[in-house]
Amino acid sequence: KLLSTKQMLLDAQKHHYAVPAFNIHNMETLQVVAETAAQMRSPLIIAATPSTVSYAGADYLVAMARAAAQNTDIPIALHLDHHEDIETIKEDIDTGFSSCMIDASKLPFEENIKKVQQVVTYAHRYDVTVEAELGKLVGKEDNIVVRDAIYTDPEDAVKFAAATGIDSLAVAIGTAHGLYKGKPKLDFDRLRVIRSKVDIPLVLHGASDVPDEMVKQTIELGITKVNVATDLKIPFAAAVKDFFKNNLEESDPRKYMTPGKNAMRKIVEHKINVCNSAGRY
């Protein structure tokens, strides 16, 4: 059975580790994150952006995630990542997603709250957890490009969490979606202040290309969910490209997908270790 992120994030918060949320795109990538998490006894959040849901189909994603959950007893959540459309979120919850992010972070504060409240009301009826974001990350996620970052204001975060009833809050503290030009600068002090004022689990987006030590520090300061997308896609694609360099005539997907899966497995394992979430279940 697919679970919400409620218990897994509260446990992470209590024991000072983070649950990894891996963005997947198809059966192969879903298998890799599920198998690796199961082997390492780590809780797992399988995340799908709107374009992944369009690409793979909500029903396929739910069926595959349920199959993964049936093969193991580690907690697995299937999460809608960066969704902006309330009707789509409702439909996908009806299909079987167990967690969602309503990303209304582009809207003015009060409108962000109103939109998030609507999703919370619907989702909580079905024990589905809701994440929302305050502030803005730079970078490219899906087809959305953001150029100017807005860091999360701690006082607003308190008001936002209370007014919306969300289960977790995504904060903007200097990470970016995708890769960086140079080394990222994270506002650890801001995170510390937010953590001291807000009691719900906090989420770090854009964790790819952030040095491990910095991610670990955010976890020490109270991050309980770490979102990783780009760092998994790159080695998968690189391994497939490499395979075709040496096997130009190959047409069997089982042959050319396997090196990609194996390359991705290593990085998933590494990210689980950075989250310190192995052996928790």
Annotated binding site: 82, 103, 133, 177-178, 205-208, 227-230
- Exactly one of 129, 209, 222, 225 binds Na ion (CB under 5 A); that residue is 209
| Site for Zn ion contains 205 (CB under 5 A) | yes
For residues 30 and 63, what is the distance between their CA atoms, to the nearest angstrom? 11
| Site for ligand 13P contains 131 (CB under 6 A) | no
Instruction: Give 231's Cβ-side CA count (13 Å radius).
Output: 26
Instruction: Report whether 93 contacts 122 (CB < 8 A).
Output: yes
* Least distance to Zn ion, CB of residue 177, Å: 6
Binding-site positions for Zn(2+) read 82, 103, 133, 177, 205
List binders of ligand 13P among 134-173 (CB under 6 A).
141
20-59 mask for Na ion (x: CB under 5 A)?
----------------------------------------
**Nearest Cα residue to 3 out of 127, 120, 112:** 127
| Site for ligand 13P contains 20 (CB under 6 A) | no
# residues contacting Na ion (CB under 5 A): 3
Instruction: Report whether 46 contacts 26 (CB < 8 A).
Output: no
Indicate if 81 belongs to the active site: yes
Q: Is 281 helix (H, G, I), strand (E, B) or coil?
A: coil
By beta-carbon proximity to ligand 13P, the closer residue of 23 and 42 is: 23
| Site for ligand 13P contains 82 (CB under 6 A) | yes
**Nearest Cα residue to 152 out of 175, 129, 182, 180:** 175
For residues 229 and 248, what is the distance between their CA atoms, to the nearest angstrom? 28
Residue 59 neighbours by CB distance under 10 Å: 12
- Exactly one of 6, 83, 177, 265 binds ligand 13P (CB under 6 A); that residue is 177
| Site for ligand 13P contains 208 (CB under 6 A) | yes
* Least distance to Na ion, CB of residue 192, Å: 21
219-238 mask for ligand 13P (x: CB under 6 A)?
--------xxxxx-------
By beta-carbon proximity to Na ion, the closer residue of 129 and 152 is: 152
Pairing of strands 19-23, 76-83: unpaired
* Least distance to Zn ion, CB of residue 50, Å: 12
For residues 72 and 91, what is the distance between their CA atoms, to the nearest angstrom? 27
List binders of Na ion among 187-206 (CB under 5 A).
206
Choose the catalytic residue: 81, 92, 209, 231.
81
* 85-91 contacts, C-beta under 8 A, 24 or more apart: 85/50, 86/115, 86/118, 86/119, 86/122, 88/50, 88/53, 89/119, 89/122, 89/123, 90/122, 91/58
- Phi, psi for 166 (deg, rounded to 5): -65, 160
Torsion sign, CA atoms 254, 32, 27, 206? negative
| Site for ligand 13P contains 206 (CB under 6 A) | yes
Residues found near ligand 13P in the complex (CB under 6 A): 23, 81-82, 141, 177-178, 205-208, 227-231
- Residues belonging to the active site: 81
Residues found near Na ion in the complex (CB under 5 A): 206, 208-209
